[in-house]
Amino acid sequence: MSKQKKKKPNVKRSKKNNSHVWLFVIIGIITVGLVIFMLTGTFNKDEVAIDYKNQPYLGEEKAPVNIIEFGDYKCPVCKNFNESFFPLIDKELIQTGKVKFYFLNYPFINVDSERSALYGETVYRELGNDTFWKFHKLLYEKQPDDVSLEKKDIFTEKFLNDTLSEVANDGDVKKVKDHFKDDASEKAVNTDEALVNDLGVTGTPTLFVNGKKFEGNSFGDLQKMVEEAEKESK
């Protein structure tokens, strides 16, 4: 009887040890899988968390759908987008309370792009959302029709100051002029560019609807995507 009593605890220890071994094996498999998942870059871009705080926007605060435009002020296609496609977005989606529309910088062309982005961020920070959008619209309107992407120093500091002076008083223009090279402006542009990288944006203009890239070709396609996003948000 004494021998049998000794065997019982041995059996229990064996089962317990086996369970520990399997637990470590499972943890190891999961860990290896996660490492492979990370290294192969298979994260879904649609799942990137987007922080909309401190970004200029148009629309009602409680609008159920967020649209982001990534743009470059020197991009001729962006100019065309803002003069032909955006008015439809404004009339049918923003003014109807369906959408909050954000603009984020992707200044990839040259120094003019970077300077304009920094200046625009300073206008937003120093003069507020309403003045930013007036400046934003006017800057695209004043983009030369024959703009050369290779030529630099078209959007000079003087050009930007003169453009802002059409929608702001002299005191406000001076305020922006004095601060557009501050670290805060650079940080704001860097924040936009970090999101460009996270979302895999490769050109301008590029739209995202509630974090998902718009792949359509028409305003009707965008409307449909907005309607689907609205349903998902309920």
Residues 89 and 12 in one domain: no
Question: DSSP characters for the chain?
Answer: -HHHHHHHHHHHHHHHHHHHHHHHHHHHHHHHHHHHHHHTT---GGG-----TT--EES-TT-SEEEEEEE-TT-HHHHHIIIIIHHHHIIIIITTTSEEEEEEE---S-HHHHHHHHHHHHHHHHH-HHHHHHHHHHHHHTS-TT--SS---SS-HHHHHHHHTTTS-HHHHHHHHHHTTSHHHHHHHHHHHHHHHHHT--SSSEEEETTEE---SSHHHHHHHHHHHHHHH-
Report the Cα 127 to chain-centroid distance in Å: 22
In a domain, 48, yes or no: no
Q: How many domains does the chain have?
A: 2
Residues 8 and 109 in one domain: no
Residues 159 and 87 in one domain: yes
In a domain, 51, yes or no: no
Cα–Cα distance, 82 to 91 (Å, whole number): 13
Helices 129-141 & 111-127, crossing angle to 10 degrees? Answer: 150
In a domain, 47, yes or no: no
Residues 216 and 183 in one domain: yes
Q: What is the mean pLDDT of residues 17-39?
A: 38
For 114, residues 6+ apart whose C-beta sits below 8 A from its C-beta are: 107, 189
Q: Does residue 3 have a pLDDT over 70?
A: no
Alpha-carbon Rg of the chain, whole angstroms?
Answer: 27
Residues 87 and 163 in one domain: yes
Q: Which residue has the higher pLDDT, 149 or 226?
A: 226
In a domain, 25, yes or no: yes
CATH number of the domain that residue 69 is part of: 3.40.30.10
Residues 92 and 189 in one domain: yes
Residues 114 and 23 in one domain: no
Residues 20 and 115 in one domain: no
Residues 209 and 93 in one domain: yes
In a domain, 210, yes or no: yes
Residues 128 and 16 in one domain: no
How high is the mean pLDDT of the chain?
A: 84
Residues 76 and 159 in one domain: yes
For 49, residues 6+ apart whose C-beta sits below 8 A from its C-beta are: none
In a domain, 164, yes or no: yes
pLDDT in tens, 149-171: 778 889 999 999 999 999 999 99
pLDDT in tens, 32-74: 333 333 333 333 444 578 999 999 999 999 999 999 999 999 9
In a domain, 49, yes or no: no
Residues 93 and 149 in one domain: yes
Range of the domain at 27: 1-42
Answer whether 135's CB lies under 8 Å from 123's CB.
yes
Q: Please provide the distance, in angstroms rounded to a whole number, between the alpha carbons at the two ends of the chain.
A: 69
Q: Which residue has the higher pLDDT, 121 or 20?
A: 121
